[in-house]
Amino acid sequence: MDVRSRRQAGLTALILGVFATIWFSVPAAGQPLRTLLVVASGAALLTALGGAAVVLRAGRAAAALPRDRRADRRYGIIVAAEFAAAALGAALLSAAGWGEYVPVLICAVVGVHFVPLAPVLRDRMLVPLAVAMCLVALAGLVVALVSSTSAGLVVGTGAGLVLWGYALLALLRVVRAGDR
């Protein structure tokens, strides 16, 4: 695995580990699920720290590589559009009195944003991640509509698990490449 790929995998583990930690904190859950979510949040944070260690180890060698300004610009536009769509959608849902569905919307927006990011980050596995996140959002919506379980519980737990799993896979790629 080259230095750029190693750094990218570390950044993936760092960023998605942090967001998994955040998603695990969304659900209001009773015991014993609350304890499991706290443990999962801690484990996701440890994964993020592992990603940070990979990025730091790639260090100067990765920093010396030329930047792809076009890809950086596309990345910024995609992430800005994601945040704008999530914020606007959350505001509209809240204003309409449907605030309990905000986690569903945000999870779907996060999922969709991985599709245009896949070619920018040169990571085709972001597409299955996108599908998984959208399925979590759909599951949260359906469960909330047909039961008394909150959408936030389903989406927070599901999105946290999906993102944490992907972060762990990114770290595993680095470890496997180091064994070769």
pLDDT tens for each residue of 102-157? 999 999 999 999 999 999 999 999 999 999 999 999 999 999 999 999 999 999 99
The full 3-state SS of the chain, as one line of letters, equals: CCHHHHHHHHHHHHHHHHHHHHHHCCCCCCCCHHHHHHHHHHHHHHHHHHHHHHHHHHHHHHHCCCCCHHHHHHHHHHHHHHHHHHHHHHHHHHHCCCHHHHHHHHHHHHHHHHHHHHHHHCCCCHHHHHHHHHHHHHHHHHHHHHCCCCHHHHHHHHHHHHHHHHHHHHHHHHHHHHHC
The verdict on pTM exceeding 0.85 is yes
User: How is the chain split into domains, by residue range?
Assistant: 3-179
Tokens 């610009």 identify what position? Answer: 73
Closest-CA residue to 132 (of 78, 99, 169, 171):
169
Q: Which two tokens stand for residue 55?
A: 């990025």
List b or e across 98-108, with b for residues whose CB sees 16 or more CB atoms inside 10 angstroms.
Answer: eeebbbbbbbb
Percent of the chain predicted with pLDDT > 90: 78
Query: Helix (H, G, I), strand (E, B), or coil: what is residue 88?
Result: helix
pLDDT tens for each residue of 57-89? 887 766 667 778 899 999 999 999 999 999 999
